[in-house]
Amino acid sequence: MRTITLSNGQTVEVECLSCALTSGLIHPDGGVIIETEHFHAHQDVAYPIEGLVILASKRHIKCFDELTDAEKLDYINLLTKIRKAQRATLGIEYVYYFYNEDTTHHFHTWLVPRYEWMYDFGRSVESVRPVLLHARNNMNDEENKRKVLTAIEALKKELK
């Protein structure tokens, strides 16, 4: 079991955070953004940034090469839909996509938006970790939480 601190300060003990989220054991703030037979999209539970979406497989796998043909098609279609919704509803012009295989969770992709305030931390991929930590440590006020929840609702509406 691992102890994980969520963006709201709550700690949870889970073997796999992605499994806990996709199965409904843990409910992300704002709920599920979009869900298909193979994937589950939700606001990142650790970092309160508007439009920061995690796209996680429902099946506990680690790598792209473990996806079935149906999962591959579902993944790219869903990733594209989410990105289009981020641009249309939240005005997000740029996104960093992250996927790694040495994670303690299972297969998931982060869609990390770039906002103007983030450039204070730099312009490259190296700035993303400081941005995420800044959000977790400094953006848990009620005003930002409302913005994040509003963004989730906008994405849900666009993706219906």
Determine phi and psi for 100, rounding to 5 degrees.
-140, 150
Residue 124: pLDDT band with limits 50, 70, 90: confident
Q: What is the average per-residue pLDDT within 94-100?
A: 92
CA distance 107 to 61: 6
Instruction: Characterize the bridge pairing of strands 53-57 and 108-114.
Output: antiparallel
Q: What is the average per-residue pLDDT within 25-29?
A: 79
CA distance 92 to 78: 17
Q: Which amino acid is at 10?
A: Q
SS3 108: strand
134-143 pLDDT per residue, tens: 999 999 899 9
29-73 pLDDT per residue, tens: 889 999 999 999 999 888 999 999 999 999 988 899 999 999 999
Note the pLDDT of residue 104.
67
Instruction: Report the interhelical angle of 142-159 vs 69-90 (nearest 10°).
Output: 120
